[in-house]
Amino acid sequence: MSRDELWRMSATDAVAALKGRDLRPTELIEAAIDRIGAVDGSINALPIRCFERALEQAGALEASGAGNDFRNLSGLPIAVKDYNDVGGVKTTYGSPIYADNVPQDSDTTVATLEARGAIPIAKSNVPEWAGGNTFNPVNGITRNPWNLERSAGGSSGGSAAALASGQVWLATGNDLGGSLRTPAGFNGVVGLRPGPGVVPRGKRHPAYDTLWVEGPMGRSVADVALMLDAEAARAPSDPISFDPPNQSYVDALGKAEPPKRIAFSADLGVVPVAEKISTVTSEAAQNLAGIGIDVTDDIPSFNGVLEAFQTLRAVLLGTMMDDLVATHREQIDEDIVGNIMRGFDVTPESLFAAERVRWDLSHRVAVFFETHDFLLCPSASIAAFPVETKYVTEIDGRPCETYIDWFSITFALTMTSCPVISIPCGFTAEGLPVGMQIMGRPRGEAALLQAAWHFEDIFAAVGEIPIDPR
């Protein structure tokens, strides 16, 4: 099989070939190296490479024999987001403070994957600390392979762009306000925000926080299910993590009928959404109605959720980064400093109010799931924007009040603590991918993946990738 054929393979087929001894990990690594060399110069999705380390891991696996159970990736090369530590490989967080930082050990998320046969081949680019557009002063700008003049989104923009352009088969991501789902939507790939505790996190995150989660990214729902099998685990470093199910997420995909009743909203009743996005996602929802699924607009109220998220996010960032601001303020972008410092302006009253909103929302969501199987809405309020735009200031002429307003449609769902997946559902008139978020019940990852697997065929937007940069 040629190297071109190898990088075009799905992760599911590649792992099956590895387990059947029809492929060696080294062959896939060499194919990935060729593809990265051919296309990443124009995209800059994978600026930090660890090819020699990957080849050493592959050689060791080939000598010892790779694991063959359903949780094992059996030597599949992956990209690791540059917010996650890979032992012996530079981790910058997109920050000049950490431009030369080389952690000794992989963090819990990566160590879990490595123990189950994943081989990190490169670090994917990120915004400096956080954000919806992937650029930073250390590794530069990541461009969208669908249109190199457009943003790849963020903060998992490097992972999404690498997947869309065929440089890797799977990639890690993480998500606070939409960092898995927005870039998945912009790049025409699949990103899953699992519920808190499904994928264990490293020690850098506050132990009992439920806003920031780690999750898988891939080119299809089946590939994402494959990676979730490998990622899901209980780990001592993450006290909210728990044992994964005994059944494979992959095996569960085809064992359920399509859902009977869903709700769709183009804007959740609280966020601005560009008309082109509303049109594409509304048409996709009607396609579901066309196969007999009851599609309603009876969504839970999200009133007050956006303000509550802003408050809780500010507290989280302040908790995580106040020491860094105290010692290295001059090396941190002022917008980020402002977000961190906002956490110190949060009053007890505003924190209480935010928690009450989250509490009330949980009850409304529980009532919603008494009559509906899933909630659908766009993965982003806009299509991929010009890459030079630091952040979006308006949507169809309506000004944004803050620099994260434009991805409020994702952080509204973060507040539910429900699992949410983004899958491609169509294209704008300019040929840019559009994603659809699907929210499932708490701890309902298997059912969510089943539904997304069914919807993926109906939307018929996944088969376009991988693509050559254009």
What pLDDT was estimated at residue 304? 96
Could you give the C-alpha distances from 420 to 54, 190, 205, 252, 381, in angstroms and in order? 31, 11, 21, 17, 16
User: Is residue 159 pLDDT above 70, yes or no?
Assistant: yes
List the structure tokens of 65: 């024999």
Question: Does 469 reside within a domain?
Answer: no
User: Is residue 456 pLDDT above 90, yes or no?
Assistant: yes
**What's the structural domain count of the chain?**
1
Catalytic residues: 81, 155, 179
Question: Does 245 reside within a domain?
Answer: yes
CA-closest candidate to residue 245, choices 387, 444, 390: 444
Question: Does 371 reside within a domain?
Answer: yes
Question: Does 53 reside within a domain?
Answer: yes
Question: Does 148 reside within a domain?
Answer: yes
Query: Per mean pLDDT, which range of 155-164, 329-338, 376-385 is the poorest?
Result: 329-338
Could you give the C-alpha distances from 300 to 122, 127, 310, 416, in angstroms and in order? 41, 32, 20, 11
Q: What is the pTM of this model?
A: 0.97
Q: Determine the residue type at 456.
A: E
What pLDDT was estimated at residue 462? 67
Q: What is the DSSP letter of 294?
A: E
Question: Does 470 reside within a domain?
Answer: no
User: Is residue 403 pLDDT above 80, yes or no?
Assistant: no
Angle at 374 between CA 370 and CA 375, to 5 degrees: 110
CATH of the domain at 135: 3.90.1300.10
What pLDDT was estimated at residue 58? 96
Question: Does 160 reside within a domain?
Answer: yes
| Residue pair 93/251 in contact by the 8 Å Cβ criterion | no
Range of the domain at 235: 3-464
CA distance 86 to 71: 20
Per-residue pLDDT of 272-321, as tens digits, reads 999 999 999 999 999 999 999 999 999 999 999 999 999 999 999 999 98
In the chain, the largest separation of any two C-alpha atoms, in whole Å, equals 63
Question: Does 12 reside within a domain?
Answer: yes
| Residue pair 87/105 in contact by the 8 Å Cβ criterion | yes
What pLDDT was estimated at residue 391? 83
